[in-house]
Structure 1
Amino acid sequence: MIRLISRVVCFALIVSFVCFSVEVQAAVTEGADLAVYNSGRAQVTESRSVTLPEGLASVVFKNVPMALDPTSIRAEADGMRVLDVEYHYQPVSRKSLLDAFIGKELNVIMPDPVDANARILRKATLLSNTDGPVFQVGNEVYLGDYDVIMLPELPKGSRNEPSLTLTTEAVLAGKRDVQLEYLMSGLNWQADYVLVTNKAATEGALDAWATLTNTSGQAFNAAALKLVAGEVYREQGRRGSMLKSAMVMEAASGAPQGMVQADFSQYHVYSLERRVTLASSGTKQFNLFSAPQVSIKQQLVSTYHTGNGLRNGPLDQNVDLTLTMHNTAEAGAGHPMPAGLVRVFMPTSDEDLLLAGESRIGHVGVGGEAVLSLGTAFDVTVRRTQKEFKKLGKNSYEVSWDIEIQNSRPENQSILLRETFSGQWEIINSSKDFTRPDAGTMEYALAVPPMADGKPMHVEYTVQVTY
């Protein structure tokens, strides 16, 4: 008898618990804080107003992103405790609608078995929807064609828009601002650079842009924007709070309405000094910085890796056009350069600016060096011929090369001829002076004259290699 009374009391408590859990809608507010990482994710912090009763309530947030990571959600407000979080999104589609009516009788318009040109309305039970609808009509299973399936209603729980529901417990009834924080995918950014050089390619004007791409389907109005540059690792399932410092850091002072750069841990963060509106899809660009007079160095570089085998006949090798920028204040730069694409424009002889090439760079810090490979030279060619090859032992050999460089331009062309080796190597003889920039490389810095007399420049050397 005592056990029975205890169960009645527990049941009464459960009923009381459920009765006081009411559903309230959180007001949608503008002005989210966005921290977008150049790895395809973003951290969102927003504040929404809600009027809570005392005790338990189900707080429903509408207009949340489809690309939201449910495991990263954090919500807090004064005098409120979050008991559980539920993210719900079941989009309405043909398959999801039919799956909800498996085992139920539906009205189906299908071909008339008597008249091939006629249609009839039949009562049919949906047996399966794995590879397409399978119906039971009377005592028979129907696998044929149909024109229309009539559904009596929209299945419960189906909704086109995602929603977030918090079960909360408030100490006192009243209005509160709930701060909601989560990670989402579908937002990404990269740096895009435009470098316009002079004819000699000795200096140029550099403009850096942040290109923000939104493919999430979620629009943001009057958002405060931060762009984080750097490779930030994130383990699967880790909570969003690990990235919070990017949202709350103070930006350094700078020009109003522009991007302000500041340090963030071992990364860099760019804060836009105005609020922006992002469409649900598309791109938007923001100026990161401009460097109107940057010193650059143009070079022709041809690289070859000497292998340990016999080579027959002449071998052509590319001559690459490269530009080198030193990211220092003395060279006219001195800004952190996030990874991105550099487009280089050079003037022609009649002063038209044409695209000379594109090159992708990694993150370049202040004091670093950006090397841009723009394309293959047209008028300078390199061809090599193996003159001798001898095996000196099981893991050693000696090889002799004759390298021919042709310059069809009317003026001298500077070229860096780079030879790389695997293992220990020693130059036995060489027709030109060379340097050893590292343990596996030999370089010739050559000034190749015009080939007016039809004679190309030749470089010959012999090397012994042990691998």
Structure 2
Amino acid sequence: MRGLLALAALIVSAGTVPAAAQQIVTSAGPENVSVTVYRAPYRDADEAIDRGNPDGYALITETRTVTLPAGRTTIRFEGVAGNIFPESAIIAGLAQGVREKNLDADLLSARSLYDRALGRRVIIRRTNKVSGKVSEEQATIRSGVGGAAVVQTGGGVEALRCTGLPETILYEGVPAGLSAKPTLSIEVNSVVASTSTITLSYLAGGFDWQADYVIRLAPGGARADIFAWVTLASSDVTSFAQAGTQVIAGKPNRESTPSFGDFGSGSLSLQCWPSAGERQVRYASAPPPPPPPPPAPMMMMEARAAIDVVVTGARKVAQEELGDFKLYRIADPVTVASKAQKQVGLLSKESVPVAIVYASDVDEDDVDGPIMTIRAKNWREAGLGLPLPAGRAAVFEAVGGRPILVGESSTDDKAIGEDVEFKLDESPSVTADADQLSRKGRSARYRLTVTNANPWPIAYEAKFAPVDGRFTASAKLGKRDGKALWAVLVPANGTATLDYATIGQR
């Protein structure tokens, strides 16, 4: 089968052993587990986590104790991550070497159960929408999982889901070979029987994290309370209870690797066939059905759980260095739950000095609308002074004693000593326009006018695009990001102007 071939892992050494000589030891789960989550490498700071399909990854480290007999043994590690990259698995603590690694591919799901029932007898249960009457009929599945379920009943062959009635497939049991948990197996050869405490480490897809900032502006806008969450997301089928949890800020260079285990998408989607307009298809002739199964049907329903969001409150998070990256270690154990999203407190800083500036980019007489920008110094003396991971921010201001959303923004990773900016949106109360006053050859003169409709003064900044010739202005200019910068305080309900010229521009 294609899935089994795709999920075969690295064979370290070859050899054949009689089936009777092969012994199996099963480790049902880890005693301790650590989860280190890396952000999706190509997701921008202003993009939210894809909750249905997180595109980051995690390093899972598990501690397990196994007792091995002498001889050739297969160790089955049940409960590993469903989206494990088996080629990344590292096993430490075994006295003997690993001969072979395999990922068991067939996980129990609505899709795999249906696929294994091809050619077998099932029960079709239908419910009348009007009367509520339930009827059951024996049928044999004659098609695979691709699009439509063709079944053979006593009346012929039909396509399921074409009667317009709610229909459910009931199976007589779970076929052999379907595992309820993702399982990594390794083969070892022990000289003597032994009990070992081993460490299993591997990478797995389907995880992601981000920082989410909540900024509460104080009256007057000169200070703000800054709180940040670590938001963890997992689409994996495996939960990691009470895990030591870390997150990594930065973008490690990692090539995109397809997940070997498609365990997170075992859903079954069937539709009427061959067309939506044809309600039912029956044929007079059909191959003879197989013998009926034992009369003990078991109903199997698809159960796709919604992704939960759990807020755990503030916890102590310690920041550590990891080469050029930043590691944030959550002090208390965290349950990284299956198909869930969780938030853990990252930092809380009160009364941080901030500045509110309205900023525009200017290119000759083309002026962008002023953007309300909140700035802070990432210094300890200024109330912060710690590496800030990239993430999104929600900015609130108290109005009548209640917080009102002012806008949303984002920030990239910021080191200690850097300026932190949260850019919101254009302000309807602050406008900027530039007019061309004159042009002669390759030289031109312009006037920039800023209007403030607020009943309080505002700080305004304009950054000018570089020019080929000489650039002059009627006021002293500074520099920001290598560009000429005009910074001015615009009075309440007033204006400010700047005359500037480009001379000898090509």
On whether the aligned pair clears a TM of 0.5, the verdict is: yes
Matches within 5 A, 1:261-410: 261-306=319-364, 317-348=368-399, 350-389=400-439, 392=441, 397-410=442-455
The structure-2 alpha-carbon separation of the partners of 1:17 and 1:177, relative to structure 1 and needing over 3 Å to count, comes to farther
Q: Which residue pairs with 1:71 in the alignment?
A: 87
The CA deviation at 1:151 is: 7.2
CA distance in 2, matches of 1:406, 1:184: 54
Q: State the partner residue of 2:251.
A: 231
Matched position secondary structure for 2:87: helix
Q: Distance in 2 between matches of 1:123 and 1:409?
A: 74
Displacement, 1:263?
0.9
The structure 1 residue matched to 2:78, chosen from 62, 86, 90, is 62
**Unmatched segments (≥5 aa) in structure 1:** 1-13, 110-118, 239-255, 308-314
Cα distance change of structure 1 residues 135 and 400 upon mapping to structure 2, 3 Å threshold: same
Gaps of 5+ in 2: 1-14, 41-55, 125-134, 259-313
- Give yes or no for contact 1:79–1:171 (8 Å, CA) kept in 2: no
The residue number in structure 1 matching 2:491 is: 449
User: What does residue 20 of structure 1 align with?
Assistant: 21
Compute the displacement of 1:458 (Å): 3.9
- TM-score, with normalisation over the residues of structure 1? 0.75
- Equivalent residue runs for 1:36-435 within 5 Å: 36-39=37-40, 40-92=56-108, 96-97=112-113, 99-100=115-116, 104=119, 126=142, 132=148, 154-236=174-256, 258-306=316-364, 317-348=368-399, 350-389=400-439, 392=441, 397-421=442-466, 423-427=467-471, 430=473, 432-435=474-477
Aligned equivalents of 1:372, 1:167: Cα separation in 2: 54
Larger radius of gyration: 1
Per-residue CA deviations over 1:201-237 (Å, capped at 9, x if unaligned) read 2222322322222322321122111222221122356
Determine if contact 1:106/1:150 at 8 Å carries over to the other structure.
no
Code of the aligned partner of 1:264:
L
- Tell me the CA shift for residue 266 of structure 1: 0.9
The alignment yields a C-alpha RMSD, in angstroms, of: 3.6
**Contact in 2 for aligned 1:30/1:223 (Cα 8 Å):** no
SS of the residue 1:366 aligns to: coil
Report the more deviating stretch, 412-421 or 220-229. 412-421
CA distance in 2, matches of 1:302, 1:289: 31
**In 2: Cα distance, 1:182 partner to 1:35 partner:** 11
Distance change in 2, residues 1:413/1:133 (3 Å):
closer
Contact 2:475 2:498 in 1 (8 A): no
CA deviation string 1:52-90 (max 9, x = no partner)? 110111111222221212221122333232111110122
| Corresponding residue SS for 1:330 | helix
Q: Offset at 1:129?
A: 6.4
Distance in structure 1 (CA, Å) of the matches to 2:226 and 2:80: 39
Which amino acid counterpart does residue 230 of structure 1 have in structure 2? G
Q: Is the 8 A contact 2:463 2:486 kept in 1?
A: yes
Contact 2:410–2:422, Cα closer than 8 Å, also in 1: yes
2:3 matched to which residue of 1? none
Moved more, 274-283 or 43-52: 274-283
User: Does the 8 A contact of 1:66 with 1:216 survive in 2?
Assistant: yes
Contact 1:316 1:383 in 2 (8 A): yes
Corresponding residue for 2:130? none
Partner amino acid, structure 2, of 1:425: G
SS at match of 2:382: coil
Which amino acid is 2:378 matched to?
N
Superposition deviation, residue 34 in structure 1 = 1.4
Indicate if the aligned counterparts of 2:315 and 2:346 stay in contact, CA closer than 8 A. Answer: no
Q: Relative to 1, partners in 2 of residues 1:127 and 1:218: Cα closer, same or farther, differing over 3 Å? A: closer
SS of equivalent to 1:69: strand
TM-score by length of 2: 0.70
Cα 1:32–1:399 shift into 2, 3 Å: same
| Cα 1:80/1:462, change in 2 over 3 Å | same
Work out whether residues 38 and 228 of structure 1, in 8 Å CA contact, stay in contact via their aligned partners in 2.
Answer: yes
Report SS of the residue matched to 2:97: strand
Answering whether residue 498 of structure 2 is matched by residue 459 of structure 1, we say yes
2:248 and 2:328 in contact (8 A); partners too: yes
Q: Deviations over 1:134-184 (max 9, x none)?
A: 6899xxx96766889887875543344322211111221132223211111
The offset of 1:188, in angstroms, is 2.0
| Residue 419 (structure 1) shift | 2.4
Flag the 1:135–1:412 CA change in 2: closer, same or farther, 3 A.
closer
Report the Cα distance in structure 2 between the residues aligned to 1:209 and 1:123, rounded to whole angstroms: 53
Contact 2:250/2:326, CA 8 A, preserved across alignment? yes
Counterparts in 2 of 1:100 and 1:287: CA distance versus 1, 3 Å: closer
Contact 1:107 1:122 in 2 (8 A): yes
What is the CA-CA distance between 1:92 and the residue it aligns to? 4.6
Paired positions, count: 408
Displacement of 1:42 in angstroms is 1.0
Aligned residues of 1:106 and 1:149 also touching (Cα < 8 A): no
Determine the C-alpha separation between the residues in 2 that align with 1:361 and 1:228. Answer: 16
CA distance in 1: counterparts of 2:143 and 2:330, whole angstroms: 56
Mark the CA change 1:459 to 1:211 in structure 2 (over 3 Å): closer, same or farther. same
Any conservation in 2 of the 1:434–1:445 contact (CA below 8 Å)?
no
